[in-house]
Amino acid sequence: MDRSAVKQRSMRLNDDLILRLAERTFRHLINQQLATAKAPEPEIIQRISEAIKGFQDKVDLIEEETRKLMDQYSSQMNAGQLDNQEMRQMIRKQVAKKFKFQLDTEDQVNWIAHQIHDGIYNDDLVDYSSEEKALLAIKQVVNATVNIEDSLDDKIRLKIGSLQRNVPEGSPEWDVLYRKYMDEELNKRV
């Protein structure tokens, strides 16, 4: 796969979506007979949710650090000396590197899948019939969610761009609107 073609956008998952993703992951593993539960379903789903939430916490940390740095350069961006979107991407890459966080969607899916897979196994909540197949199945469920989000990205950006007032990408207001609209759309689909 051409790594330059990989999307570099962090998935944004609200608590409801995290819970639904955890439930879908658990059901998929059980229905495909890739895992046998050794603990009550709610405990396993909670552990899966925690693994996903750990990812979301990292994304939130990176976004907060990026926002702080963007604020430092806001006067230069407002004066037209720096392009807001380009500056945001450059800062975000530096912040992600500082926290040893991958921005490639494929890497993010792999990280989440491994956290789920290893977390529920190491906590002795499940046994796998095949560890490799279980990991692949988890990646498929997470990827399906990412693909839905990716397909909505352009729609959300157009919706924000069509507002009567100009909301610059990367601004706190833009981030809030993007998250709100994405959450609404994801809640309809997942």
Q: Look at residue 150 in the predicted model and tell me its pLDDT.
A: 75
pLDDT exceeds cutoff 70 at 61 = yes
Q: Look at residue 178 in the predicted model and tell me its pLDDT.
A: 86
Q: Kindly state whether residue 3 falls inside one of the protein's structural domains.
A: no
pLDDT exceeds cutoff 80 at 74 = no
pLDDT bin (cut points 50, 70, 90) of residue 5 is very low
Q: Look at residue 40 in the predicted model and tell me its pLDDT.
A: 97
Q: Kindly state whether residue 152 falls inside one of the protein's structural domains.
A: yes
Can you list the alpha helix ranges (DSSP code H) found in the chain?
Answer: 15-31, 41-72, 74-78, 84-98, 105-122, 131-161, 172-189
Q: Look at residue 86 in the predicted model and tell me its pLDDT.
A: 79
**Number of domain units in the chain:** 1
pLDDT exceeds cutoff 60 at 1 = no
Range of the structural domain that residue 94 is part of:
11-189
Do 48 and 25 form a contact (C-beta atoms < 8 A)? yes
- The predicted model scores a pTM of 0.74
Q: Kindly state whether residue 6 falls inside one of the protein's structural domains.
A: no
Q: Kindly state whether residue 181 falls inside one of the protein's structural domains.
A: yes
